[in-house]
Homo-oligomer: A and B are copies of this chain.
């Protein structure tokens, strides 16, 4: 299966970070996290799932445990199971990240 230009699948919303599904199986989930300037995905964990962000557009403030970094296109963030992680868009541009999870979340939420 080929999915074209995944950035074009982004779903931004004004009230909170937007999410879009790209593809998933019983083994993984691939989606998009879409941040308007100022939006944040607050610190959280996933039990039994590893998450990988790949930044596609914009710049972000990433936190994994005690590690904080400014990230941009082509940068990868790895949050293993139970590792607290957060991502924020300080602006002024939109921030778009591809999100891989293995195994996939039960509720298809990232």
Contact = CB atoms under 8 A, between A and B. Distances in A.
Interface of A: 1-8, 22-23, 25, 27-28, 30, 49-50, 52, 54, 56, 62, 64, 67, 69, 71, 74-78, 80-81, 98, 100, 102-103
Copies in the complex: 2
A32 to B, nearest CB: 11
A98 to B, nearest CB: 7
A79 B105 CA distance: 20
A3 B100 contact: no
Contact of A75 (B6, B76, B81): B6
Nearest to A5: B74
A2 B50 CA distance: 14
